[in-house]
Amino acid sequence: MGRSRTKSKKTHPPPTKPAPSEQPKPAPSISALLGKARELLVQCDYDLARRFIERLLESQPEHAEAKEMLGVVQLETGNLDAAKQTFLSLLTSPSAPPSAHLYLAQLSDVDPHLALRHYQSAVDMIMAQLKGKERAVDANVDKDEAILKNTAVQALISMVELWMDPSYDLCDAPEAEQTCENLLNLARQIDPDNTEVLQTLASVRLSQSRPDDAKEILERAWAKWKNLELDDETMPSIETRLSLVKLLLELSLFKSALEVLQGVIATNDQSVEAWYLEGWCFFLMAEQARENGFDVEDLSWMDLARDARDCMEMCQNLSANEESPDMSISEYVKELIEKLQVLGVEPSPAGEDEEDGWEDVEGSDEDDNDVDMS
């Protein structure tokens, strides 16, 4: 009888432990969503910013900053009615920011009286916050206070501009002049060194037919920053400097206007408005030389007219490359080029240094930095 075989044991792989179920990722915190939304707004990525904002509002529907950012996204993407409703909804919150009133003021351009009320509400809120800052002791108080002061000043300037705007009936009101004076006095109390306040005051003086006073005020405004380096953080914005140029041109202070413009173009040589204003300045100087029969700043009317033509050509080229060019500037430039062409003014030959003439006028004398405003 044969030996029976032992049954071989079947080997089985060790039982596998069930894989632990993947834990769902925790939802991003409110602060993380808020931070990402802020970052995307700075990058002008409004569609993606909206997604983060809406996700935040799903969990906190009354979050004031998130609602404000949603309004900004709607404003920047052209959905003005929705933006208006968003900012209005902020006003029902006890933590409504002054900026909600400021945005609503800008959206109320068809009703200047409503815009003024929103600006006034924003100023009142900011002034209350500034009083709180006076009592607080914190390392960041000075920075926050400076931001609040600048915001209040900008709102007051906007109110003055509404009162002065000839397209509204406000400018004809008997109280218009005194109201503007009061608003600017308050702005100067808030920030005595603010150059935009001084420039606005000069504009008011021009509207009052007081050019000598306007000139003196502009001298004070410009003196606060004209010797600064172009990259100085306290240098006024390009927009503010261009506003100064317009006032200088209105007073026929051409040399000073050109000096300011040279600094602007050195900072941003793609500024269509800067090239336009420089061309307009040279054109006005050329007209003065032609009418009076003598050179202006040692330049003949043809030299000045050619400089004007060169600036206008540059302006036209830059404008053609913009996605949304300022059509009013484009029309003015076209008209001036046509007028100069009729007068026989051709652009400078290619390769010729277009700014040699003006640089020669500036020279290298020791008094170059002391520009005469007269």
Q: What is the CATH number of the domain that holds 38?
A: 1.25.40.10
Asked if residue 125 and residue 70 are part of one domain, the reply reads: no
Burial of 167: CB neighbours in 10 Å, binned 0-12, 13-18, 19+: exposed
Q: Which domain holds residue 41?
A: 28-96
What is the structure's pLDDT at 295? 83
Asked if residue 186 and residue 102 are part of one domain, the reply reads: yes
Q: What is the pLDDT of residues 126-185, one digit of tens each?
A: 999 998 766 655 656 678 898 999 999 999 999 999 999 999 999 999 999 999 999 999
pTM value surpassing 0.85: no
What is the structure's pLDDT at 142? 74
148 part of a folded domain: yes
Asked if residue 60 and residue 76 are part of one domain, the reply reads: yes
312 part of a folded domain: no
* 3-state SS class at 213: helix
What is the C-alpha separation between 105 and 91, in angstroms, rounded? 13
* 3-state SS class at 25: coil
Of 44, 68, 96, the last residue of a domain is 96
168 part of a folded domain: yes
Q: DSSP secondary-structure letter at 367?
A: G
Asked if residue 106 and residue 180 are part of one domain, the reply reads: yes
Asked if residue 121 and residue 34 are part of one domain, the reply reads: no
Q: DSSP secondary-structure letter at 44?
A: T
What is the structure's pLDDT at 47? 95
What is the structure's pLDDT at 3? 44
142 part of a folded domain: yes
Asked if residue 77 and residue 115 are part of one domain, the reply reads: no
Q: Would you say 308 and 282 are in contact if contact means Cβ atoms under 8 Å apart?
A: yes
Asked if residue 133 and residue 116 are part of one domain, the reply reads: yes
Radius of gyration of the chain (CA): 31
What is the structure's pLDDT at 354? 45
Q: What is the pLDDT of residues 322-347, one digit of tens each?
A: 888 888 999 999 999 999 999 999 99
Average pLDDT taken over every residue of the chain: 87
Q: Which residue has the higher pLDDT, 293 or 40?
A: 40
342 part of a folded domain: no
What is the C-alpha separation between 155 and 160, in angstroms, rounded? 9
Q: What is the pLDDT of residues 312-325, one digit of tens each?
A: 999 999 998 888 88
129 part of a folded domain: yes
Domain count, the chain: 2
Asked if residue 112 and residue 85 are part of one domain, the reply reads: no
Of 96, 121, 142, the last residue of a domain is 96
What is the structure's pLDDT at 132? 76
Asked if residue 114 and residue 181 are part of one domain, the reply reads: yes
